[in-house]
Structure 1
């Protein structure tokens, strides 16, 4: 989840809040929007909440003792309460000191019984203090050797939360198979996590990113492969799929100049360049290329309204709980209309 690393933002802590309206009780699909601490995210929340039945701000993490650090932006909480929107707090293992997700920090809270208990107790305290409906755990870069320990942590935390009538959501990397050789996705045992959690938010974005070779952020076949695997191992009504509101711009000569670009940034870039994007049938995504002022060739991959609608439609095809969007703040009404169209 959390793309601040690639955006260059130095967020010390990671948080998300998930909210529901009464639509959940009627069986409507969940449409979750993650937000950041930016003013732009708040504007999106207030401007596009009618398209959502779920939202999410970014700030909570924890330390080695299991203490929860950070706080929810008060304006977002106030707005949620004003609109009678239920909220979930998302906790991640993002470590400010290393500016990255910290596998060692995650391991500490899994293996140290005192820290684990303290962590769970503090989650309950936080949820009650802020009237959160639940907790969304987003541990990334978990070590391959901690696979069983992570499942055990989810079981323990979910049990404590359930006793206090607090729900659990877990965010996991996308994968189409349980591959021991994939250090990024192997640590997440879909079957066990899905057994203990109320919802599993599958991060079906970042198929490709500026850290590697050019390609779609979320190709159709790649998403389908993940969802096919997810619904075989987790109850479909617990699964939430990810939809990106950003694309990537690769500088083929200087990778350090490659950038993640938000929805509105891409629109501005296309207009400036008078670009003629091409639909890629294999990925179901859009792409175009250009040369910058230094004569460097760039390749851009992104989603437009038609591809967003098509990919949102997969939630209905696989009969899952809904979709999540990363992130609110730089998108347009046309983006949300596309999600809404796909979810109908």
Structure 2
């Protein structure tokens, strides 16, 4: 599939005629909103006949909360190998805590579409935030671990899960080895029951990287313990951080350069963000808070405010600025250009595939481009 970048004077009908595709197909693929205005600098995916060339087979994973729109899930599942249901928690004593709403309907939908349902385990405290004291309490307590593993196996068998994803963040440095042992034991127990085990890794660029996000994660040991890993290669630009690309390509590459020295590439899933941020300016740390937006929504914001979309060649990411209510804003998001660059990394490094955080918003052009670039493995 081709990508076209809108210039002044363009309209849907003219672009459709130029490329010989129905305007309805262009509108559908790019989720254009009536009356189908375009933003200067907007990247459009030009739908074409399916790619018949030989392509790599990859695994595609997507995280979703249990309150995802059934329609969005239905539209997305054909492009997924795995659906990670977010999420189950646990108490300090190792008692499993289910998500606040039913997850069985998602498991059944995934099965119908040939996608593997995966139970995501997270150490969320009562405030809904990652709690490293909760991690410490369980990974260092044999009785709590035993209780948690038994309950996980029971729920996975009863509900029909096919895998376990361990997403623990902000692990204390002193718990690093205990956490690795926890993952190794989980993999041994679950593999014996026919379940795969994955672990999410903060985006490190060196073994001795400082910081609470990184010190508790031993890339080499966790890569050996788990069946595969997800690199969380996003959130450089984040809700409370400075205005910048969410997943700048130059930073993603640095993480991959390090990761493949510790973990075999065939075990690595590249994390891809399915969202963007809108920052009010000027940025002031501790005060400024960005708004999370979808990629389709970002383009609509540009159209409404007459903003021209730019593309940063280093970050390989689209962005724009606009004014509203006397306040300047800056938006960074993903489009088919930035995604094409990330897909190229999967091939370049020989990775297992990609994992999306998260699939709550439909970005159809992404899925069409992914399926045109790779064969997506199904069960």
- Structures share a fold, TM > 0.5? yes
Q: Does 1:223 align with 2:252?
A: yes
CA, structure 1 residues 288+228, in 2 after alignment: closer, same or farther (shift >3 Å)?
same
Equivalence for 1:319: 350
Query: Which of 73, 80, 86 in structure 2 is aligned with 1:52?
Result: 80
Q: Does 1:169 align with 2:198?
A: yes
SS of aligned partner of 2:136:
helix
CA, structure 1 residues 240+305, in 2 after alignment: closer, same or farther (shift >3 Å)?
same
SS of aligned partner of 2:162:
strand
Equivalence for 1:18: none
Q: Does 1:309 align with 2:309?
A: no
Superposed displacement of residue 152, structure 1: 1.4
Query: Which of 237, 245, 266 in structure 2 is aligned with 1:237?
Result: 266
Which has the larger displacement, 296-305 or 174-183? Answer: 174-183
1:125-164 aligned within 5 A: 125-164=154-193
CA, structure 1 residues 181+82, in 2 after alignment: closer, same or farther (shift >3 Å)?
closer
Equivalence for 2:151: 122
CA RMSD of aligned residues (A): 1.9
Which has the larger displacement, 191-200 or 62-71? Answer: 62-71
SS of aligned partner of 2:57:
coil
Equivalence for 1:291: 323
SS of aligned partner of 1:165:
coil
C-alpha distance in 1 between matches for 2:73 and 2:83: 7
C-alpha distance in 1 between matches for 2:89 and 2:190: 17
Superposed displacement of residue 27, structure 1: 7.3
Q: Does 1:281 align with 2:281?
A: no
Equivalence for 1:14: none
C-alpha distance in 2 between matches for 1:265 and 1:334: 13
Query: Which of 75, 85, 88 in structure 1 is aligned with 2:115?
Result: 85
Q: Contact (CA 8 Å) 1:316, 1:343: kept in 2 or not?
A: no
Equivalence for 1:251: 280
SS of aligned partner of 1:100:
coil
Unaligned runs of 5+ in 1: 1-25
Q: Contact (CA 8 Å) 1:306, 1:338: kept in 2 or not?
A: no
Query: Which of 217, 236, 242 in structure 2 is aligned with 1:213?
Result: 242
Q: Does 1:69 align with 2:97?
A: yes
| 1:89-130 deviation per Cα after TM superposition (whole angstroms, max 9, x unaligned) | 1111122x2231000001111111110111111121122112
SS of aligned partner of 1:307:
helix
Q: Contact (CA 8 Å) 1:68, 1:123: kept in 2 or not?
A: yes
Superposed displacement of residue 86, structure 1: 2.4
C-alpha distance in 2 between matches for 1:306 and 1:146: 40
Q: Does 1:334 align with 2:365?
A: yes
C-alpha distance in 2 between matches for 1:313 and 1:27: 11
Superposed displacement of residue 180, structure 1: 4.4
Query: Which of 110, 113, 128 in structure 2 is aligned with 1:99?
Result: 128
Which has the larger displacement, 149-158 or 159-168? Answer: 159-168
Q: Contact (CA 8 Å) 1:154, 1:197: kept in 2 or not?
A: yes
Which has the larger displacement, 297-306 or 185-194? Answer: 297-306
Q: Which has the larger radius of gyration?
A: 2
C-alpha distance in 2 between matches for 1:177 and 1:113: 31
| 1:45-99 deviation per Cα after TM superposition (whole angstroms, max 9, x unaligned) | 211322222223323111111111115522212212323432221111122x223
Superposed displacement of residue 257, structure 1: 4.5
Unaligned runs of 5+ in 2: 1-54
SS of aligned partner of 2:329:
strand
SS of aligned partner of 2:337:
helix
| 1:260-316 deviation per Cα after TM superposition (whole angstroms, max 9, x unaligned) | 2122321221221122111111111111111221x1221111111111121122111
Q: Contact (CA 8 Å) 2:281, 2:327: kept in 1 or not?
A: yes
Number of aligned positions between the proteins: 316
CA, structure 1 residues 29+266, in 2 after alignment: closer, same or farther (shift >3 Å)?
same
Which has the larger displacement, 229-238 or 190-199? Answer: 229-238
Equivalence for 1:16: none
C-alpha distance in 1 between matches for 2:253 and 2:163: 28
Equivalence for 2:48: none
TM-score if structure 1 supplies the norm length? 0.87
Query: Which of 51, 59, 65 in structure 2 is aligned with 1:30?
Result: 59
C-alpha distance in 1 between matches for 2:114 and 2:235: 33
